[in-house]
A and B are shown apart, each in its own frame.
Chain A
């Protein structure tokens, strides 16, 4: 677009700036780095499409699933759970005090799912056949089928939940009112659907008891995945709000630090509770399957790092932060917990998978796999910023009633 004559475009997309001003305003070092990461990611995508999975990845017949499933799907979807946890808290349990967190949470869920599925397309051998799953050939006995359907439904649900903000931005009052009304129903179904597929991601591995290390394999895998998605969701809200309150400070009129800290501590309480439940279940499972002997091995050591360092420790830190009203500690622990969830998902998908293999046969990701995943994460962040800068996500729209 050489000449910026379209005032709608200028108002809505360029934030009221002229072309040149707008470009100048986005030419920051941060955006430059994000752009580079995305360019690398896109190059890998193109390479993958033209040359295939073999040259682009380290996947083998023994390791059909690698970093893309482990990171993009298992990690990505767990970290995209804020919509689930906050939606439940505010809409179902009526915890209205948290309604300021809801829109950012829903947006991160929506973008998280969309970009996870987008990244998944590069892992699927015949990505162009994805509609078969919905309308052509149903594998009803497959956990993956359940996941495929639930992803589709959940993305639709997130779009509905998010659309009031979209229509406020577009100034379509009628649509906004309509979607505002059905958003609550979407949330209710969203809770059921999200709970279903978060657990199903763990359920995927029920099928491979002989391949997954006994310390990670458990008949409770679905429960573990669901519970950890819940505290992952809560901690992502803490992490995101910490970051966004730094980055988008300008958008927060009458921002009340004490109130924000109080809410953060409230989230910390919930995170501590779910972490403790998870930890107790983990120990119960360890005792139940009598896996103590495995603890004194390399895998056992790594397992302890995960369970003690990234479950028990954050649980205690959250508890202490709540007791002492230390919001800063809670924010730090939020980061720690999120890291722990990432570790857990990668352990299940990669590290503990085919654990009997000698090191020479184990899988580790190729740089291209990592580059593509990081590129997708960068796209997600850019999209998030783009939307937050334009729509009423961090604050209520001045022309509209509070939506929640």
Chain B
């Protein structure tokens, strides 16, 4: 089934309800699980983190990004292969990746997401415009104000000055709150590592781009889907493309303002929710959603605590005086005096 069931359901609330009753859980369990779910021992995140620690000061504060033009993608999945190769994720011969697009029984038949062993996936959707397939590469969006970063209780994420959001596996406790927080469902977890499971996600090839090279996926793409460059320039380029071919593109750059803006940007010929990119996530940066609350709690605890403390002190001393004055008469039905001698 190649239509995106999730999007389909979102449009119809009533159907969401009834499908829950139809009990498809068993059918799902019978599906062959994606082998990358079982992957363990990721090294790329840690490696890029160490590099970031080394280089962070020296980086020029120019934000880079990638513009993904989904109208050009041919679904060869070479980017997946190259990403696995570069980042030492479990890999298969590149032929197997290239074959998916023409296979009857293909990974494209289901919408996939990133798992422990892959930082990027290509999905297939059917265009509502002309019925032709649309291929969409997914990976971390490298948000300007990332939800994963603000949610982490041991502060394991950093937004590098040049764009990438990097993850420090050496402090991560594995609470997986960052996975809850990410609006794009990007971070994955090594659920099958009993002792040392890690969060894994696309590094934006920090190791490559901070040396002046382009990401591995960008480099290998044979169809010119991805353009690596300064984010500002990419926005200009995207507007130009939309302006020149308004029949080809819808008038929206996904990632320009989504959750406050992301380093990776997308162009599409059909509305973005039809190709698996959520349009209900708003423009507010994710960290803003909890900021107000956190300030409120801290204010309460710092300002509100004192009247409570003094009020209680007043009440105690008053009770003590009263107890000393009329110890006998204050006895309750249970037959006890209270707070008399401390």
A interface residues with partner B (beta carbon < 8 Å): 49-55, 57, 59-62, 64-65, 91-92, 94, 96-97, 99-100, 123-127, 129-130, 132-133, 136-148, 177, 180-181, 184, 188-189, 191-193, 195-196, 199-200, 203-211, 222, 254, 256, 259, 293-294, 296-299, 301, 355-362, 364, 396, 401-402, 404
B19 contacts partner chain A, Cβ-Cβ < 8 Å: yes
Provided the pairs A94-B319, A207-B289, A358-B5 are in contact, do residues A191 and B27 lie with their beta carbons within 8 angstroms? no
Provided the pairs A92-B311, A259-B333, A402-B337 are in contact, do residues A133 and B153 lie with their beta carbons within 8 angstroms? yes
Which single residue of chain B is at the shortest CB-CB distance from A298?
Answer: B17
B86 contacts partner chain A, Cβ-Cβ < 8 Å: no
Cβ-defined contact, A144 with B188, below 8 A:
no
B194 contacts partner chain A, Cβ-Cβ < 8 Å: yes
Bound state CA distance, A387 and B171, in angstroms?
Answer: 37
Q: Which of B16, B21, B293, B332 has the most CB of A within 10 A?
A: B293
Provided the pairs A61-B179, A61-B188, A180-B342 are in contact, do residues A143 and B293 lie with their beta carbons within 8 angstroms? yes
In residues 144-182 of chain B, which contact A (Cβ within 8 Å)?
147, 149-156, 171-177, 179-181
Partner-contacting stretch, out of B7-15, B99-107, B211-219: B7-15
A74 to chain B, nearest CB (A): 13
B223 contacts partner chain A, Cβ-Cβ < 8 Å: no
Cβ-defined contact, B153 with A52, below 8 A:
no
Which single residue of chain B is at the shortest CB-CB distance from A177?
Answer: B342
B113 to chain A, nearest CB (A): 6
A372 to chain B, nearest CB (A): 15
Provided the pairs A51-B194, A125-B176, A209-B289 are in contact, do residues A402 and B181 lie with their beta carbons within 8 angstroms? no
Cβ-defined contact, A358 with B19, below 8 A:
yes
B318 to chain A, nearest CB (A): 9
Q: Please provide the 7 A-B residue pairs with the shortest distance between their CB atoms, ordered closest to farther.
A: A125-B174, A298-B17, A360-B24, A54-B191, A52-B194, A360-B28, A64-B176
Cβ-defined contact, A142 with B297, below 8 A:
no
A interface SS class: helix
Among candidates A129, A177, A206, residue contacting B290 with C-beta atoms closer than 8 Å: A206
A238 to chain B, nearest CB (A): 19
Contact flags B319-339 to A (C-beta < 8 A → 1, else 0): 100000000000011111111
| Extra inter-chain contacts (20) besides given A129-B174, A143-B294, A200-B293, CB under 8 Å | A62-B113, A65-B177, A100-B334, A125-B173, A141-B291, A145-B153, A188-B309, A208-B181, A210-B280, A256-B334, A297-B17, A298-B20, A299-B17, A356-B16, A357-B6, A358-B6, A359-B23, A359-B24, A362-B20, A401-B341
Q: Which of B316, B337, B340 has the most CB of A within 10 A?
A: B316
Cβ-defined contact, A124 with B173, below 8 A:
yes
Among candidates B281, B316, B335, residue contacting A184 with C-beta atoms closer than 8 Å: B316
B196: which A residues are within 8 A, CB to CB?
126
Cβ-defined contact, A52 with B197, below 8 A:
yes
Provided the pairs A61-B185, A62-B185, A141-B291 are in contact, do residues A208 and B180 lie with their beta carbons within 8 angstroms? yes
B179 to chain A, nearest CB (A): 4
B315 contacts partner chain A, Cβ-Cβ < 8 Å: yes
Which single residue of chain B is at the shortest CB-CB distance from A143?
Answer: B290
A143: which B residues are within 8 A, CB to CB?
151, 290, 293-294
B304 contacts partner chain A, Cβ-Cβ < 8 Å: yes
Among candidates B188, B191, B286, B332, residue contacting A53 with C-beta atoms closer than 8 Å: B191
Can you identify 24 A-B contacts, CB atoms within 8 angstroms? A50-B194, A54-B191, A57-B191, A61-B37, A61-B116, A61-B189, A62-B113, A92-B312, A99-B338, A125-B172, A125-B173, A125-B174, A126-B173, A126-B174, A126-B197, A139-B156, A142-B150, A142-B290, A146-B297, A203-B290, A206-B293, A297-B13, A359-B20, A401-B340
Q: Which of A199, A297, A299 has the most CB of B within 10 A?
A: A297
Which single residue of chain B is at the shortest CB-CB distance from A53?
Answer: B191
B35 contacts partner chain A, Cβ-Cβ < 8 Å: no
Cβ-defined contact, B300 with A196, below 8 A:
yes
A296: which B residues are within 8 A, CB to CB?
14
Which single residue of chain B is at the shortest CB-CB distance from A202?
Answer: B293
Cβ-defined contact, B175 with A210, below 8 A:
no
A207: which B residues are within 8 A, CB to CB?
147, 150-151, 180-181, 286, 289-290
Among candidates A100, A148, A177, A359, residue contacting B153 with C-beta atoms closer than 8 Å: A148
B180: which A residues are within 8 A, CB to CB?
64-65, 204-205, 207-208, 211
Cβ-defined contact, B312 with A184, below 8 A:
yes
B160 to chain A, nearest CB (A): 18
Cβ-defined contact, B197 with A136, below 8 A:
no
Which single residue of chain B is at the shortest CB-CB distance from A99?
Answer: B338
